[in-house]
Amino acid sequence: MTFVDLALLAGPAIMMIGLVGHLLIGDLLRRIIALNVASGGVMLVLLAVAAREDVPDPVPQALVLTGIVIMAAVTGVALALARRVDAVSDESEDR
Amino acid sequence: MSLDIGVFDALLLTGVLLAAVAAVLVPRRTASVAVFLVFGLLLALLWARLDAPDIALAEAVLGGGVTGALLVDALASKQPHAPPRRLWTVVVGIVAGTIAFLAAACVVSRLSGPTGELPRLVDDQIATTGAEHPVTAVLLNFRSFDTLLEIAVVMAAVFAATAVSDRSWARELSASGELRTIAMALLPVVALLAVWMLIAGTTRPGGAFQAGAMVGAGLVIAHLTGTRHASTRGRWGEALIVVGLVAFILLAFSTAVAGEGWLVLGESWASAAILGIEAVLAVSIGVGLARIFLANRNEPGEAR
Amino acid sequence: MRYPALLPALVLLPLLLSAMVALVPRGPRRLAGAAASSITGVLGSAVVLALMIDGGSWEFALAGWEAPLGITLQADGTSTAFLALMTVVGVAVTVYAAAEPRLAGGPDFWPLWLVLWAGLNGVVVAGDLFNIYVMLELVTLAAVALVALGGRSAAAPALRYLFVGVVGSLLFLLAVALVYAETGTLDLLQVTAALEPGPVLTAIVALTLLGMGAKMALFPLHAWLPVAHPAAPAAVSAVLSALVIKAGVIVLWRIWFGLADDATAVRALGVVAGIAGAVAVFWGGAMALRSSRLKQIIAYSTVAQVGYFAIVLTLADGSAAGWSGGVVLVLAHGLAKAAMFLAAGTLAVAYGTDRLSHLHGAITHTPMTVAALGIAGISLAGLPPTFGFVAKWQLLMAAIEQGAWWWIGVLLLGGLLTFGYTAAMVRATFNRPGDDEVPAPHRVRSVLAVVPFTLAIASVVFGVFSAGLVDLVAEDPTVRGHG
Amino acid sequence: MMWWIAAGWPLLLVAVLMASGLLPRDAAERLRDRGSRFGWVAVVPAGILCATAGSETVTVPWMLFGTSVALDAIARPLLAMAVVLYGLALAFIPRSGTERPALLSGLVMVCFVANAGVFAAADLITFYLCFTVMSFAGYGLVVHSGSRPARRAGRIYLVMTVLGEGAVLSAMVLIARAGGLRLGESAAAVAGSPDRDLIIGLLLLGFGVKAGTVPLHVWLPLAHPAAPTPASAVLSGAMIKAGLVGWLRFLPFGESEIGWGTAFMALALLGGFLAVPAGLLQDDPKVVLAYSSISQMGFLAVLIGVALAVPEAAGACTIAAVVYAVHHGLAKGVLFLGVQMWDVERWRRWPVAVLMAVAGLSIIGAPLTGGYVAKYGAKEAVGAAMFPATGGASLAEVLPWVGLGSTLLLARFAVVMWRRDRAPSPTPITRDIAWAIVAVAPVGAVGWLASSHEPLSTTPDWFDPGTWVAQSWPLLVGLVLAVGAARIARGPRWKDSRIAHPHGDIVPPGDVVTLEERLVSRAGVGLRAALHRLEGLATDIRARLTPPVSLVAAVARAQRSFSAWEVSGTVLLVLIAAALGWAAVNGGGA
Amino acid sequence: MTPDAQVDYSIVPLLMLLTSLLPAGIIFCLREDQVRWRTTLNMAGAVAKVGFVVALIPPVVSGDKLRVSMPWVPGVDLVLVTDAFSLFFVALSAGLWLVTTIYAIGYLEGAPNRSRFFGFFSLCVTATTGIALAGNLITFLLFFEMLTLVTYPLVAHRGTKDALDGARTYLAYTLGGGVVLLAGVVWLTALVGPVEFTAGGVAAVADLAAERPGEATAIGALLLIGMSVKAAIVPLHGWLPIAMVAPAPVSALLHAVAVVKAGAFGIVRVTHDLFGLSVAGELGLLPVMAGFAGFTIVYGSIRALAQDDLKKRLAYSTVSQLSYVALGAALVSPLATAGALVHIVHQGMMKITLFFCAGLFAEVQGISKISQLAGVGRRMPLTGAAFTVGSLGMIGLPPLAGFVSKWPLALGGLDAGTTWVLPVLIASTLLNAAYFLPVVYALWRPEPDDQEAAVPAVPPRRRLEAPAALLWPPVVTAAMVLLMGVAAGWTYSPWGLAEIIAGGSYR
């Protein structure tokens, strides 16, 4: 049971934690955080796969890099939208 | 490199798992963001442990840095009261989550061994790609189309953030004296780091994305500390955001028309092309991420 | 006559144009955007024509690196059909958005629309799994931003759409990771050859089904669509329902018919997907009958029609008629749904609201738009002489070949339900007796009426002269390789 | 060619009259007036045809499955009679006090064409065509005056005619199926067809309505007073004979149909005898005449019955029936027109009375009259036919008693006419003279007709006192009884008794019909109630069929809960768990 | 239906479709006030179509067929063929379209939405022509459904609440039928491949019936049920009386000719040209169909008896009369088949006269109930006369067309050995008389003195009782009823043609 296998198991774990959190939490910001956690989990699976051999396989690593950048961009947009949603719900409360 | 499990590894893995659970479970926003930053850091360590140094670097800069900044900035808005929770959803959700994890684990465990065919191919061909570091080679030559699309995603994200935010973000900030001095000290270091990462990318872990993130961070600091024309607004801001993608596509077009085919980098000028592209990408990503950060910030007058 | 080199241009040209349009200041951006979109449209139609004439399927390895290492793009009969749909609807939406900025969500529409178009073209011709993931992300992001253009109240639905899209993509990414872990390659054709039935394959297919199911709003995961599509501006909701949904569909079909074979596990998944599809048909139909707003009805109609796409998973397994029926259904639905949403947009401009109770008299004042609505409804219901009927005919033939009489029931009753809410919409536009001099609605530019009408007429014309298109799609060598 | 003119000319006149509606008002009036005055001209071509045409069948292939007409032994005399009668009636219409004379003459012309068609038809469909058109045109005549009794009579006439039509149509179809499309072979076809009895029954019923056999005679006494006098003359004179012709054409005289023969004879005799008391109790001359027609038609029906029962006598009976029909038609027509002569025409009382007396005597069969010849021929034709039911009395003895009945009826008619007041007005002379001629002429015509069929029918030698007595004893007994009754009635004791001076209230005209009307109206009410129940049943079946709305409401509720983020999230989680679980558990199975 | 005649390729069938499709397209674009354009287009289209029909009758009767086909879906193509039977039906619809167009132009004088009306009106005739000319089952289905879709806006034209409800019920019924038909067609095509109508039945279908009688019967049942909805056979007839809410020309053309006849035409096509009588007989389809048709004949007449609204009574009468055709088609005898075929034309002609007159009564005198009809005949003699001719024809009195179709039906029924046909026909004749004669009686009744005051003052006596465009069509069709009845023997009369066509299917 090498470390890589353990990491391989931890990947889905973190992903499911993230997904469960994302899908059940009401507050938008915490939901975005959970989403990032889930994305981290998937990246872990990919990197664990890459690390199965002595020389790490560069292709999955490249994929993960692209994944992280995309996740960052998506989080940015999600936060912008979340801010607008909260602003709209504030207005509706004040009225 | 089949490492047996050392103490440090066990600690690291449990740490990551605990941080993940905490980030999700803790009810208040600020605590959740804090734990998430820790989680980001631990994750970077894990990547390093899994022998993926530039991924670790990217995670630290992008995951921890930029996303962290965005999240902290998002804390400004008030947390609306949570809608009434349905108990049964939580219970069922968690049970389903665990079952899914167990099943996924079982599936993952039955994966057959690595064929290692692709890494071998990369090593054979890396010589002609003009970049010693395999990841950079894959990113900017073998699968350069993916990177191009990734930049397009970032550009799209920038367009989206600008479209969503109301136009009031673009004002200069006046900052007090101390901040200005910190800025004066910090900015040159950040710039230097960015340039170094960019150049190191071809041989050692590093590269466009990490450099881009640094540029972004720098711009954010500059804006926060009130230095002039750091707000990525106006004509130049737009141009810088799109310059990365435009350059990349023009390269692709030129290779298609003049060279042997789309994105086929000739051996002789491949490394120069890669470096050029990386520089432009870094700038674009930096300005883009900064623009996203700034688009999220509203008027200072918003409720703290 | 083979120009596989044109394939990357399908993606890169719109991206380049989008970047340039973004640089154009807000004022003249509408003009620049329209020009850029028409260039993309011309390119798209050129590629489609070349593909049709050539008839075969093209492969193109990017950056000169062959399959496992580099990324290949592939275009076969199916992608030709999807490309044709995206070009036709794309041009129509461009004209529509250029004519009425309010219906497109202002100048920000154009760069995002070009990015979306590039993403859609990309998904259709992508041959590499991770490339598909990135394309899907690009499409989702652009689509979410376009939905958000629908005004302040559109933010929440847009966000929900983003979350669902990203969760779907994550599940798909996990599947890609499993594929790479198992076979060591990311190219679709090589994967289909390498993967053997087993838990991993079943997991991959299951994850893809769930991921794409979320993206295309298949029954249990459909809750976001009736909220998101109506919130978007009319031109955007037309693109969403007609094209964006299809990105999820084509990815699901490629992977399902590539990987799924006679393994009992996968067949069971197919049956579950079929059942979910059948429930979706009736669920969407029932909800459409109940809703009182035009756009909501059309959105629920999409939920219903997506049900059919899931049923195609079981119907097309090993039957040429089923497969061509499925692809023709996608085309027919695309045309009809785009026509419907654009018509709804025109009526919203003309009458200020899309609430059914306020639309009486529309049949006299905007006859062309109501005709478009009616004809599109007829095509969705699969009644002759429209294109939808051709699709339903093929699916029925496939169902009979497999002796699956329950699908026949779903197909026929679904058609009736569809016509139910179409008739409800048309009925609402009749003018009450005596009030023929109802106050004239706001002046509507004739283009807003002509565009949906031409799409509707196109679905009738294709309905009658459908032989060419159906042949093109029928024998699709690569994907339906087995069974 | 002659046929075209004969049929086309009257129809052309009718068309002109109808088209007159389009002309401006005064021109239309002038046209109509001239049209009705010269109405009788319509029958002239038919008369010429009747005289000159040969007896070959003329067929018109393109008309209505191919129509064919022929003037054979039966058709020619009847057609001649019809020509004379219709001509006379048409002449009597103008300035006879009836309103809208043009419409009346048009209707009579249509009736004429149809009636002629019935007589001359040589194929089944033409026969049925003309029979139906005649029936429905007849309805027009009956309701012409538009008064309330006329409408009631019309309604009853219509109902009975339609029922009759139904029977005739089914009979025709059955005959056609048996191959009897051409009338020549239809009798043989009926004989040969499997459902022979059904056909004969339907024929009895269908033509019985028209010929006024007993239970179906109720419309006659109501229709005649209601219709204008010329119309009732035609109705009673020619149209009733259509029923007779129907029997003659279709009944299978070839084999011995004892059962049906006796049935015919029984009904006929019943009609003959019952009509007399009902007729005597009336005070309207036309009703009396109607009952007299019913009894005379009964007499004819007896001939038919005999022909059916005794095949050998069939030929003679047919000819006798035709002769008798011609005689009765002319005489009865004269009597009916006589009523109008008495009421309106310019002549003085005496000449009209004398001439009517001649016609009356002819009906009774007094010597030196047409009736004498006809009755003699009939008695000879009947010959020794036994009528089993009456315990062995031969028909020959029974018939004279019928003659007695009709004598009494005519005596009643004479009494009633005498008491009727007159309003002579300056009517055209020509038609009165024509009337007089027709009143007198039949004796010669009938005699010639009977003799022309020598071998079959026998004609009495005119001046043999032996046959006179044998023929005319019922006449004498009848007269004696009538004079006796009249003297008693004038006596003081009987002065106010309702029997002596009946006003038609003891036995209302159409006697049995009042019962049937009540029956029909009750049935109508019942039917309407049943229909409404049926209607109610149909509507609530449809209501139950509407789709269950509750299902759609359940979907809507579920959708509302679905729209919450957590719920759809949970669903997704469950699906992921299920899918991955499924893959892990047995994904391995090939 | 004429057997293997010489078939030559020509685009005439397509032109026949275009004569009404093209005007429809153009009329939709006309503005409301371009009346002259619209009228000329309508009339040109109608006359052109009638011209085509008249030109085609001699060659088609002599045996050759014109055919045009176009690939539609791999293995299946759309076929238009002008054989005798299709021409027979096109002649009917073309002729009556011409007459109804004139009537509609008069009827809708000054009404709103006329462009829309006439556009859909022409489309409806295109669909009917398409149904007639369809060479195979799929083309038939295509136009059959198009007919449903195109008639919906006509029925709902007035926009009142009950017009829309009526249209919705109409749609529910006919679409349901369409779906059942689609199922049947697909099933058959899947098993036997695209099937063309051939006189006397298709060989492939015959041996399908031989191998798998069960499935063949099921397919036959589906097809016939699908047709029966439009042919308004009892359980599926509910829509017809409800759809009477449409304006008069619509209910005249649609519910007397186009829609209803399409159903009847379909039934004859399926039983005669697809299965062939012998095969349909073996499968047991014919007796069932005959049973239903017989029941409908009586049921329709009884329901008609109870209706006070004139158009509703005419509707139920159509329900009953239509089943004559179904009954005739289901009887295995040349006479019955010929009777059924000719009844399609005769019933169409008679019923359209009655609907025209009903429309006139409603339009000129504002009377729609039978109880109010007292004495109307006197005020509107010509319309009254036309109505009388029409109703007497419906009852089946000899000189008129009704008799010409009822007589062979009765004879055919007896030939085919189903003896119960005669009593049903006789009962129906009596019932027809029962519900038509009172109307005629009321029509011609002299002004009842008590109602004198109640009757609206008659407008100053114009020369004609109603506008010319409204008055002449019923008179013309009444004259046709008389002519078709009297001149039935003529070779080119409907009866003559029907006999030729019927002969074909007993080859």
The three-state (H, E, C) secondary structure of B122-167, written as one string: HHHHHHHHCCCCHHHHHHHHHCHHHHHHHHHHHHHHHHHHHHHCCH
Partner-chain contact C69 B156, CB within 8 Å: no
Instruction: Evaluate whether residue C87 is within a structural domain.
Output: no
Chain-chain contact of C210 with D589 (C-beta, under 8 angstroms): no
Residues in B touching D573 (Cβ below 8 Å): 92-93, 96-97, 100
8 A C-beta contact, residue E128 and residue E262:
yes
- What SS3 state is found at D386? strand
Provide the mean pLDDT of chain B. Answer: 82
Residue E460 has pLDDT above 50, yes or no: no
Contact between chains at D64 and E489 (C-beta distance less than 8 A) = yes
Give the list of residues 6+ apart from residue D387 with CB closer than 8 angstroms, or none: D262, D265, D269, D393, D394, D395, D398
For residues D172 and A87, give the distance between their C-alpha atoms in angstroms, rounded to a whole number: 92
Q: Please, which pLDDT band fits residue B302 given cuts at 50, 70 and 90?
A: very low
Q: How many CA atoms lie within 13 A of B184 on its CB side?
A: 6
Binning pLDDT at 50, 70 and 90, where does residue C118 land? very high
Here the tokens at position E338 are 């010929």
Q: C329 CA to chain B: closest CA distance, Å?
A: 30
Inter-chain touch C141–B156, beta carbons under 8 Å: yes
Is the link from the previous residue into E467 a cis peptide, with omega within 30 of 0?
no
Q: Give pLDDT, residue C39.
A: 93
The pLDDT of residue D457 is 61
Contact C470 E175 (CB under 8 A): no
Residue pair B266/B136 in contact by the 8 Å Cβ criterion: no
Q: Are strands E7-9 and E65-73 parallel, antiparallel or unpaired?
A: parallel
DSSP string over E162-230? HHHHHHHHHHHHHHHHHHHHHHHHHHHHHHH-S-B--TT--HHHHHHHHH-HHHHHHHHHHHHHHHHHH
Q: Quote the tokens at residue D198.
A: 């059904």
End-to-end Cα distance, chain D: 95
In a domain, C406, yes or no: yes
| Contacts (Cβ under 8 Å, ≥6 apart) of D432 | D341, D345, D346, D347
Domain limits for position B287: 133-304
With bands split at pLDDT 50, 70 and 90, how would you rate the model's confidence at D498? low
Q: Are D200 and D252 in contact (CB under 8 A)?
A: yes
Reply yes or no on whether the pLDDT at E107 is more than 70: yes
The sign of the dihedral angle between the CA atoms of D168, D171, D173, D176 is negative
Across C473-477, C478-482, E349-353, the highest mean pLDDT is recorded for: E349-353
| D181 CB-near residues (< 8 Å, 6+ apart) | D123, D124, D125
Which carries the bigger pLDDT value, residue D363 or residue B166? Answer: D363
DSSP D64: T
Q: Let me know the angle formed at the C-alpha of C346 by C341 and C347, rounded to the nearest 5 degrees.
A: 95
**Which of E72, E78, E189 should be substituted to probe chain C, the one whose Cβ sees the most C Cβ atoms within 10 Å?**
E72
Q: Which residues contact C344 (CB under 8 A, 6 or more apart)?
A: C234, C294, C295, C298, C354, C373
Q: Do D573 and A19 lie within an 8 Å CB cutoff?
A: yes
User: Is A24 within 8 Å of D570 when comparing Cβ atoms?
Assistant: yes
Predicted pLDDT at D454? 63
Angle (deg, nearest 10), helices E84-107 and E468-486: 150
Q: Whole-angstrom Cα distance, residue C184 to residue B112?
A: 10
Cross-chain Cβ contact C433/E116 below 8 Å: no
Q: Do D577 and B107 touch (CB under 8 A)?
A: no
Length of chain C: 483
Average the pLDDT over E205-221 and give the result.
88
- Do B92 and D567 make contact, defined as CB atoms within 8 angstroms? no
The larger pLDDT score, comparing residue C4 to residue B82, is at C4
Q: Choose between D387 and D145: higher pLDDT.
A: D145
Per this entry, what is the length of chain D? 590
Chain C neighbors of A46, CB-CB under 8 A: 177, 180
| Beta-carbon separation of D573 and B93 below 8 A | yes
The dihedrals phi and psi of C432, each to the nearest 5 degrees, come to: -65, 145
Query: Can you tell me the mean pLDDT for B15-23?
Result: 92
Interface contact flag, B99 D577, Cβ < 8 Å: yes
Give the whole-angstrom CA distance, residue E202 versus residue E276. Answer: 7
> Of A60, A67, A85, which has the smallest distance from its Cβ to C155's Cβ?
A85
Counting the structural domains of chain B, the total is: 1
Number of Cβ pairs closer than 8 Å across C and D? 81
Cβ separation D583–B103 shorter than 8 A: yes
Give the pLDDT confidence of D8-50 residue by residue, as tens digits.
888 888 888 777 766 777 777 887 777 777 777 778 888 887 7
Distance from CA of E446 to the nearest CA of D (A): 7
Q: How many domains does chain C have?
A: 1
Amino acid D167 reads A
Whether D135 and D219 have beta carbons less than 8 Å apart is answered as no
Q: C483: pLDDT confidence band, cut at 50, 70 and 90?
A: very low
Q: Which of E212, E202, E341 is nearest to E278 (CA)?
A: E202
Q: Give residue ranges of C with CB < 8 Å to any A CB.
A: 130, 134, 137, 141, 144-145, 148, 152-153, 155-156, 158-159, 162-163, 166-167, 170, 173-174, 176-177, 180-181, 186
Size of interface A-C (CB pairs under 8 A): 69
- Tell me the per-residue pLDDT of D101-154, one tens digit each, with 9 for 90 and over: 777 888 888 888 888 888 888 888 888 888 888 888 888 888 887 788 888 888
Whether B29 maps to a domain, the answer reads: no
pLDDT computed for residue C240 by the predictor: 92
Domain ranges of chain D: 253-511, 513-563
Looking at residue E136, the DSSP 8-state letter turns out to be B
Residues of B in contact with D570 (CB under 8 A): 89, 92-93, 96
- Chain D residue whose CA is closest to B100: D577
- Flag whether B143 is in a domain: yes
Give a yes or no: residue B53 inside a domain: no
Neighboring chain B residues of A42 at a CB cutoff of 8 Å: none
Q: Which domain holds residue C388?
A: 279-483
B280 part of a folded domain:
yes
- Do the beta carbons of residue E131 and residue E267 sit within 8 Å? no
Q: Which residues in chain B have Cβ-Cβ distances shorter than 8 Å to A3?
A: 3-6, 9, 49
Spacing of C-alpha D130 from chain mean position: 12
Q: In the structure, what pLDDT confidence band is assigned to residue D55 with cuts at 50, 70 and 90?
A: confident
Residue of D nearest to B93 (CA): D570
Question: Is the Cβ–Cβ distance between C127 and C73 less than 8 Å?
Answer: yes
Find out whether C250 and C123 touch, Cβ atoms under 8 Å: yes
**DSSP H/E element including E80:** strand E76-82
Higher pLDDT, B32 or C442: B32
Question: Per the confidence metrics, is the pTM higher than 0.80?
Answer: yes
More confident residue, B161 or C475: B161
C358 - beta bridge partners?
A: none
How far is Cα C94 from Cα C88, in angstroms, rounded to an integer?
A: 10
Average pLDDT, chain C: 87
Q: What is the DSSP letter of E457?
A: P
Q: Considering the domain boundaries, does residue C331 fall inside one? A: yes
Asked if residue B128 is part of any domain, the answer here is no
Chain B partners of A32 at a C-beta cutoff of 8 Å? 71
Which residue of chain D comes nearest to C202, CA vs CA?
D583
Instruction: Provide the token pair at C8.
Output: 């990357």
pLDDT at position C140: 94
Chains that touch E (3 or more CB pairs under 8 A): C, D
Q: Which two tokens stand for residue C367?
A: 């006859």
Q: What is the CA radius of gyration of chain E?
A: 22
For residue C387, pLDDT over 50 is answered with yes
The string of DSSP letters for C117-168 reads HHHHHHHHHB-BHHHHHHHHHHHHHHHHHHHHTT-GGGHHHHHHHHHHHHHH
